[in-house]
Structure 1
Amino acid sequence: MSTMFKYRLTASLVLLIIGLAGCKKWFPEDLDYLSPKAVYTQKLFTPVLGRTTVYSMIFSSDNSTTPITFRMVNVRYRSTGAPTHDLEKVVPVWVWKEGYTGNEKSVQEIESKRTQENHPIWEIREKSGDLVLWSAADSSMLRQQPDSGYLFDVVATNSGGSNTYKDMILDPMRELPYSPATDIDPLTGQRALKYSSDSTQITYLYISPNISNMLGDSTELPIKGDSVRVLFRKTGTGNSLTFKFLDKDSALINPAMFNATGPLDSLLHGFNVRATPQYIRYDVAYPIPVIKYTTRWTTGDGSQTKVKFAYDRKGYGGRVERGTLDFSFAIYQKGDWEVLFYFFGDTPRFRNE
C-alpha cells in the first residue's frame, strides 16, 4: 500500500469521524422528548378561598425529557367563554424561607421564618406544573360557586416540542374562616340550616366536640357531643386565641374546673398563656395550624390543631371519674378569635358525690 494511499485513507477516516461527531445532535436518542401521553391527572380544582392550597404532583410526564416548563394561557369565564384577567391578579403572600418545626418558642420566631412576596392568586409553577391558590384570594377577587368558575389551558414545553392541555377548570368555594364549619352554608356564607325529611321543620346546624364520661349536673344523664355547641367568634385583628366555657344558662364556667387538662402551655402551639376565671388566652401565629405539617399539636395529617380539656371527680363509691372534651379545628383568618364551648343541654357535674 502506497504512502499516498495510506494518507488519503487516514484523512478520510478523520473526516468521517468529525462528520459523525458534528451530526450527533441529529441522532434520535439525543433529541428531547415530550410524550403525547404526558397528562395532567387532575383537571378540576375546587379549592376553598382564603386558604393556601397547593396541587402538587398532578402532572405525569410519561418519561418525557426534563426540564419541562409550564405556563397558563387562555383564561376565560366558564359560563360565557369571555376572556378574563382575574387569575392574574397579583397579591402579597407569605412564604416560608425556613422550615416550620412546631418547636418554635414565640410568635416572633415563627414570623421570622416567613417573608412576603408578590404572586398571582392562581399560580402555575413553571418548573413542575403544580398549581397554587394563595390565601390572599377571597370572594371579592374571584368568582366562586355556585358560579361555574373559570376555564384555562396549560402549555407544557421542552426543546422536543409542546403539549397544550385544554379546558382545565378552577371553580373555587367561598372562603370559610374556620374548620369544621358545619354551621356555615358554603355557597351563601350564611348560617347553615337543616331541614326535616318532610321540610316542615327547619333548625340551625352547629359544631360539636367529642365528649366522654361527662354527667349533667341537674339531669344526672350522660352529656353527649350533640348537646354541646362550639361557637367561633372573631373580636379583633390581633394574634390571639381564647377558649371560654358556658353553662346551660350561658354563664361562664371557670376553666380551672377542668382540673385534669394538664399544663396549659402544652395544650396547643401558643404562647404567653393567660388563665383567668373567665377564659384561657394565648398569643398565636395564624393560620392555625400555620402549615399542614404533623406535630404534637396537630391531628395525624397535620391539617388541624387538637385540644383536650379534662377534669376528675369522685363518683359514687369514691371512684375517680374523668370527663374529657376533645376538639380538632383550624382557623384560616388572622385575628383575635374566641372558641366557646356551650353546654346548652346541661352543665357538667364537676363536684364529687
Structure 2
Amino acid sequence: MKKNMQMQIFVKKGFIAILFAAAALSSCRKLYGIPDEKDYLSSNINYSNKIFEPILGRTTLMGGFNGDNSTQPIKFEIINARFGDGKPVTDLFQKKQTYVWTAPYNGLEKSLAEIESKRKLEEHPLFEVRSSGEFIMWASSTNELIKPRPADSTNFPQDTRFFDIKISNTGGSTVIRDLQVRPFRERLYEPSDDFNIYSGAPAPHPKTPYNPASRNYIRPFLNGVIGATTDIPLQSNDDKKDVVVYIRPFNGGTGNSLRFKFLNKDSVEMNPALFNETVWDKIVHGFNMQKTATYVQYDVAYPIPLVEIPTIYAPGGTRDHAEFKYSRIGFGGGRVVASFGIDFAIYKKGNWEVVFHFLKDNPKFEDE
C-alpha cells in the first residue's frame, strides 16, 4: 500500500512538472518572440496518376496521393480548371443530388426500407476532391451533364479537361499542375461487351471489328450445360455463341425491379422451375420475389451491387454473382448438376431484366 501511494505521488509530481515546463516554454516563446512551430509540407508530394478516366454514371474514387509524411490536416483545392485550348471548365462542378451512405451496408439488410435508411441524398459537385486528396466522380454524372470523350476515341487537347490542385497546410502551399479528366460515356451495366464504349452504339464482333453489321454479345459462364439435340457441351465465346445474355430495360416494374428470363432456341420463354437446383434467394440482394412461368422478379435497390464489398450476393465485391443450376440423372445413374450464369452490375435505377438466350440448342433436362 505504501509503495502504491509513493508511486501515485511520483506520477502526480511528474505530471505537474510537465505542465510547468510546457507553460514555461510557452512563456519563453512569447517573451522572446519565438514563432510557433509550423506544420511540415513536403516538397515531394505528388499523385501517382494524373490522368483520370472515370465512367460517367458511377461513383468512382481516383487519386493515389502521396503526402510524403506531410503534417495533417492537408487542404486540397481544385483550381484553374480549363480545356486544352484555354476555355474554362464548368460542367464538372455542377451540383446534383447523389446518394451518400450514412451507415455501413453489409448485404444482410432485410428490406428495401432498411437499405434506404442507411443512405441519403446529398448535393455535391459532379467531380470534387476529398479531404484525403482522392478525387471522386459521383454517380449523378451523365452524358447530358458532362460531354464524354469523342466517339472516334481521339484525345485532342481541346477535348481534354485540365486542372491544377492546390495543396496546403499551416506550413505552406504548393500547386500540382496539369491533372486531366477524360470521362468515358455512361455504361449502364457490366459486362458491356455489346456496347461501343466510345460511340454508345452496338459493339461489333471482335473478330470483325470493321463490319458494322456484325454484333458482339454478353457471354455467360457455362458449366456442364449439354445441348438437348447435339448432346455436346454448349459454349459461349468468340468462336461459338450457343448462349448469349441481354441486359435491358423492361416495362411494367415498380421502378426498382430486376427480372431474370430464359429464352429457348425458338425465342420462347422457358419456365424458371426447370432450373431446379437454383438457390433463388441468393441470386441477388432483392425482396418480394415473384416466380412465374416466364420469369423471376425481385424488388431491388440500385446500383447492383450497392457497395463494392464482398457479400453473399457479390463474393468478389464488384459484381453480383447470379448462378442458375439444374440436375438430371447422367450415365451410370449418378446425378449431374449443370450451371450457368453471369457476374454483372447495373448502375442506373429502373426496371431491368437479365435474359439468357439459348440460340443454337436448348439445355438437356432429360435423364440418360
- The alpha-carbon deviation at position 268 of structure 1 amounts to 1.9
Deviation at 1:199, TM superposition (A): 5.4
- Cα distance, 1:312–1:154 mapped onto 2, change above 3 Å: same
**Counterpart in the other structure of 1:265:** 281
The Cα offsets for residues 218-242 of structure 1, whole Å up to 9 and x where unpaired, read as 1212111331100011124700100
Contact 2:29 2:35 in 1 (8 A): no
**Matching residue within 44, 67, 78 for 1:61:** 67
In the alignment, structure 1 residue 230 sits paired with structure 2 residue 220: no
Check conservation: 2:204, 2:215, Cα contact below 8 A: yes
Per-residue CA deviations over 1:227-278 (Å, capped at 9, x if unaligned) read 110001112470010000010110111100001113x222221111111110
Q: Offset of 1:322 from its aligned partner?
A: 1.2
Q: Which of residues 49, 60, 64 in structure 1 aligns to 2:56?
A: 49
- Mapped partners of 2:297, 2:129: distance in 1: 39
TM-score, structure 1 normalization: 0.89
The alignment status of 1:341 with 2:345, answered yes or no, reads no
Equivalent position SS for 1:109: helix
**Matched residue type, 2:340:** L
Aligned: 1:100 with 2:117: no
1:184–1:190 CA contact under 8 A, matched in 2: yes
Provide closer, same or farther for how the CA distance between residues 132 and 316 of structure 1 changes in structure 2, counting only shifts above 3 A.
Answer: same
Query: What residue number does 1:11 align with?
Result: none
Shift, 1:107, TM fit: 1.0
Instruction: Determine the C-alpha separation between the residues in 1 that align with 2:282 and 2:27.
Output: 72
SS at match of 1:204: coil
Whether the 8 Å contact between 1:25 and 1:31 is mirrored in structure 2 is no
1:256 is aligned, of 259, 270, 273, to 273
How many angstroms apart in 2 are the aligned matches of 1:257 and 1:211? Answer: 16
Q: Aligned residue for 2:301?
A: 285
Name the counterpart of 2:346: 331
**1:325 is aligned with what amino acid?**
F
- From 25, 44, 69, the equivalent of 1:37 is 44
Mapping for residues 1-353 of structure 1, pairs under 5 Å: 18-20=27-29, 22-23=31-32, 25-26=34-35, 30-55=37-62, 58-78=64-84, 80-125=85-130, 127-146=131-150, 148-194=159-205, 196=207, 203-225=214-236, 226-236=241-251, 238-262=255-279, 264-300=280-316, 302-353=317-368
Specify the SS of the correspondent of 2:205: strand
Shift in Å at residue 64 of structure 1? 1.3
The question of whether the paired residues in 2 share the 8 Å contact of 1:177 and 1:332 is answered with yes
Q: How far apart are the structure 2 equivalents of 1:46 and 1:82? A: 20
Instruction: Indicate if the aligned counterparts of 2:304 and 2:320 stay in contact, CA closer than 8 A.
Output: yes
Partner of 2:163, secondary structure, is: strand
1:12 matched to which residue of 2? none
Say which is worse superposed, 315-324 or 327-336, in terms of deviation: 315-324
Distance of 1:167 and 1:337 partners within structure 2: 40
* Distance of aligned partners of 1:112 and 1:25 in 2 relative to their CA distance in 1, 3 Å threshold: farther
Contact 1:212 1:224 in 2 (8 A): no
- Identity among equivalent positions (%) equals 39
Q: Secondary structure at the match of 2:336?
A: strand
My pick for the range that moved more, 100-109 or 291-300, is 291-300
Given the superposition, is the C-alpha separation of residues 321 and 31 from structure 1 closer, same or farther in structure 2, using an over 3 Å criterion?
A: same
Structure 1: how far apart are the matches of 2:327 and 2:206? 39
Which stretch of the first structure deviates more once superposed, 318-327 or 86-95?
318-327
Task: Give deviations 1:45-91, integer Å, cap 9, x for gaps.
Answer: 001000001125x211112122110110111113x121121121000
1:3-60 CA distance string (max 9 Å, x none): xxxxxxxxxxxx9995455447537xx222211111122211001000001125x211
User: Which ranges in structure 2 are unaligned for 5 or more consecutive residues?
Assistant: 1-23
Distance 1:17 1:214, change over 3 A: closer
* Contact 2:245/2:356 (<8 A) preserved: yes
Aligned length: 332
Q: 1:8 — aligned with what?
A: none
Query: Shift of the alpha carbon at 1:189?
Result: 0.5
Whether the aligned pair in 2 keeps the contact of 1:92 and 1:118 (CA below 8 Å) is yes
- Structure 2 contact 204–211 (Cα < 8 Å) conserved: no
CA–CA separation in structure 1 for the residues paired with 2:311 and 2:165: 36
Amino acid at match of 2:143: S
Amino acid at match of 1:76: R
Query: Cα offset for 1:290?
Result: 0.6
Q: For the Cα contact (< 8 Å) 2:206–2:216, is it kept in 1?
A: no
Name the TM-score, length of structure 2 as normaliser.
Answer: 0.85
In the alignment, the residues of structure 1 paired with residue 196 and residue 132 of structure 2 have an alpha-carbon distance, to the nearest angstrom, of 35
| 3-state SS in 2 of match to 1:265 | helix
